[in-house]
Structure 1
Amino acid sequence: MTDLYRLAMAVLQPGFEGTTAPDWLKKALSDGLGGAVLFARNVSPGTAGLVAELRAENPAVVVAIDEEGGVVTRLEAREGSSFPGNRALGVVDDVALTERVGRQIGRLLAETGITLNYAPSVDVNANPANPVIGIRSFGPTPELVARHSVAYVKGVQAAGVAACAKHFPGHGDTVADSHLELPTVHASLDQLCARDLPPFEAAIRAGVRSVMSAHLLIPALDPEGPATLSRTILTGLLREELGFDGMVVTDAIEMKAVAAMYPPVRSRCARSTRASTRSARAWSPRRACTRSATRSWRPSGTARCGRSVWPRPRAGSWPSRSGTARSGPRWRPTTGRGSRRRAGRSPSRARPG
């Protein structure tokens, strides 16, 4: 098995069916697969045993789940979450309470052996017609969202579980569902900088270990493709301007927001790693998703600021350093090399995790 194949495997996080690990997943983990994502379909009274089964094949595997509280729960999907959701916490506006909720959710995951929580949503719910964020957001203002995002991140990570700020660079001002089509954010650059980015900056300063990219078209930042596949947004803005050096993970790569533009899953995974993600997440309960994604994966070979835009992970692990926010002039998008017009492709419009 080549080193390149192992590097490709290390940045994939497929889903799977059932409450036991299928043979194809165990084989992939032994070959260097870096992660796996649990959904409600995988949860049972024996979930801790399932996680242990995954670790037996790869002790460094990142086991992830979406456990936001409120309406988004996997471990408590049958009976409903024991914890208030983000909007309820925002209305109460007690950051100490939000941190306690985050810590308790983190403890619940840690007891099961889960190491990465795809939460919190740090989107500012600026559009009441938003079909996918809504009460998953702490509220409609950046200040409110920022302080509760920081509290939630601190709580989860105090329990020994990595938190993930999502959906970068902000999914709160959309009227389309990215599970079904590609939403467009029509805000100006100044509006994005004043409203959508501050909660992410706050989470980065608080040491959040992971950031999830959104399947959004944001013409003010990059008019040519979704944020998940944009080097301008993920490298230029997130890594270079905001200084984030943790793990960048995609939203589910099968979502129609990106699947309709680039039908082969291997194309989407390759493009996202070139853009700067260190992990491509998939719902897919199929071995084919993992195998296909590795076939055409190639590092871009392009380095900026001393860091290659393709990931160099320690197999199955997120980087040891958390991000820090940099001071300096506000980032502005640029056009030119590294930003190509995709002729003949009109973005289809395509629910984030």
Structure 2
Amino acid sequence: MTAPAGDLSALAAAVLQPGFVGTTPPPWVCRWLGEGLGSVVLFARNIVDPAQVAALTATLRAERPDVIVAIDEEAGDVTRIESGRGSSRPGNFALGAVDDPTLTEAVARDLGTELAVAGVTLDYAPDADVNSNPDNPVIGVRSFGADPALVARHTAAWVRGLQAGGVAACAKHFPGHGDTRVDSHHDLPRITADRDRLDACELAPFRAAVAAGVQAVMTGHLLVPALDPELPATLSQRILGGLLRDELGFSGVIVTDAVEMRAVADRYGFAGAAVRALAAGADAICIGGERAGERDARELRDAIVAAVVSGELPEERLAEAAKRVGQLAAWTVAARTTLSNGARGATDVGLVAARRAVRVSTTRPGPAVLPLSRPAYVVEFEPPRNIAIGAETPWGIGEPLGELLPGTDTVRYAEPDVPADPGAPAGGRPLVLVVRDLHRHDWMRDAVRRAVAARPDAVVVELGVPELVTGAVHLATHGATWASGRAAAEALTGRT
């Protein structure tokens, strides 16, 4: 017998994790919290500063004390809590370059403490993908690296650190988004590896996350024929139930990546993808990166209720999902209680880690180029926007270098704007060329080649994956966060 409509509606609301617009909760969110909504997710558009976030989450908690407040905060190039200036921490790829799990755990704990103080209880991190394909357009420096064992040990360390700071971790994007050339925001990636390769590479970090006690796992919108030849992972019972639950032994909350993403929405519909994900074994439906209104949340809630009534979605499966979300909510309440008994402020561990991640190499003999002692001319090449990172987050080294070498000038070029000789205005000043994933962009590579031909003493600073080394001096930060930019400027000048 199907439960009354009101009960079904509350169960359906319990499994949604919607976003919203504004720096205070809109009336519909507050109303829904009283009607069964179990979670919300914050994005950069919701954040001004920590005090404002704390006030926002306090308002939510006044409506429902155990509400799960999620955020997509990787503490690297993908940052929401520090989107106004860039993250004060270096990000996964930099931590992998250092390869000190104790440091990774300390950075994650520092972040967890900051988020917990602000009232956030679930973080869609760490990124547990193995970036085995250097042409990957959406993972890159979000990953700890290309070696599965390294990624596994740092994923586990990150989970331990974040959860010790009082915030539930969520390893993503299961079963692994690293070996792709397609961004699932735009289309459905296909992972062609066989099962042996998946076990040895993609799945290793998720096994480590489960062993470390991760509270949540986020699905990737990925077609993996070796696991399911027909359905994306988010919609596959074989992958979510058979693999993640039964084989890997995960008992926490399975969260979908945003269901409005085109990889699933274009094929199954916005609401259709949500219903299919729940039927396959997902427990929470993430929405609101691009669809963030009450109408969108209502569309999903009503579709879930209709699917139960029609028999497409078993009521027992929906109740099970809501129960798991409730168990996670209880974990977060207990974690907040522990935090209140021993809260501490953030530290400078992020900048310390960013400094340790810098790697400098000299690519040609000749007079020493570093340290720079005079104002420089900095050319920053801007690649196309990675939608996961967002357009609003600042990056670059011009500003911190200008603080250490007053008089430094900085220009930035996107592909259509690059002049024939980008470094010509430098004159006799030191020339610094700043790139992100130089190996992935032909136009950027050509521009740097022209600039280095004219100025063989140019310094190239890579803020992405350092697959291509060029310039008289090459400096790799392994990320484009504020901390990484500051660490690069210090390395260039020998000053702090």
TM range (shorter): 0.7 to 0.9
Partner SS for 1:19:
coil
Correspondent of 2:210 among 189, 193, 204: 204
Partner SS for 1:212:
strand
Aligned residues: 321
Partner SS for 2:156:
helix
Q: Show structure 1 runs of 4+ deviating over 4 A.
A: 307-310, 314-317, 319-322
TM superposition shift of 1:319: 7.0
Residue by residue, what CA displacement relative to the aligned partner does 1:258-294 show, whole Å, maximum 9, x if unpaired? Answer: 110122x222211111111110000221101111111
CA distance in 2, matches of 1:222, 1:318: 28
TM superposition shift of 1:194: 1.0
Correspondent of 1:137 among 134, 138, 143: 143
Correspondent of 1:22 among 22, 26, 30: 26
Query: For residue 296 of structure 1, what is the aligned residue in structure 2?
Result: 303
Change (3 A) 1:220 1:139: same
Q: Given that residues 11 and 34 in structure 1 are in contact (C-alpha distance below 8 angstroms), is that contact kept between their aligned partners in structure 2?
A: yes
Q: Which has the higher helix share?
A: 2
Partner SS for 2:278:
helix
Query: For residue 96 of structure 1, what is the aligned residue in structure 2?
Result: 102
Correspondent of 1:11 among 12, 15, 40: 15
Query: For residue 277 of structure 2, what is the aligned residue in structure 1?
Result: 272
Residue by residue, what CA displacement relative to the aligned partner does 1:124-166 show, whole Å, maximum 9, x if unpaired? Answer: 0010000011110001011000000011000000011100110
The higher radius of gyration belongs to 2
Change (3 A) 1:316 1:50: farther
Q: Given that residues 105 and 160 in structure 2 are in contact (C-alpha distance below 8 angstroms), is that contact kept between their aligned partners in structure 1?
A: yes
Query: For residue 112 of structure 1, what is the aligned residue in structure 2?
Result: 118
Q: TM-score, normalised by structure 1?
A: 0.87
Change (3 A) 1:321 1:196: farther
Query: For residue 182 of structure 1, what is the aligned residue in structure 2?
Result: 188
Q: Given that residues 235 and 309 in structure 1 are in contact (C-alpha distance below 8 angstroms), is that contact kept between their aligned partners in structure 2?
A: no
* Structure 1: runs of 5 or more not aligned: 323-350
Residue by residue, what CA displacement relative to the aligned partner does 1:295-346 show, whole Å, maximum 9, x if unpaired? Answer: 121453398xxx8895142665527689xxxxxxxxxxxxxxxxxxxxxxxx
CA distance in 1, matches of 2:106, 2:23: 30
Change (3 A) 1:314 1:219: closer
Partner SS for 1:73:
coil
* Structure 2: runs of 5 or more not aligned: 333-386, 390-496
Change (3 A) 1:321 1:116: closer
Residue by residue, what CA displacement relative to the aligned partner does 1:240-273 show, whole Å, maximum 9, x if unpaired? Answer: 111101000000111111110122x222211111
Q: For residue 28 of structure 1, what is the amino acid of its counterpart?
A: W
Q: TM-score, normalised by structure 2?
A: 0.62
CA distance in 2, matches of 1:2, 1:35: 18
Q: After alignment, is 210-219 or 311-320 more displaced? A: 311-320
Partner SS for 1:318:
helix
Change (3 A) 1:7 1:308: closer
Q: Which has the higher contact order (CA 8 A, sep 6+)?
A: 1
> Identity percentage over the alignment?
54
Change (3 A) 1:212 1:124: same
1:154 aligns with 2:167: no
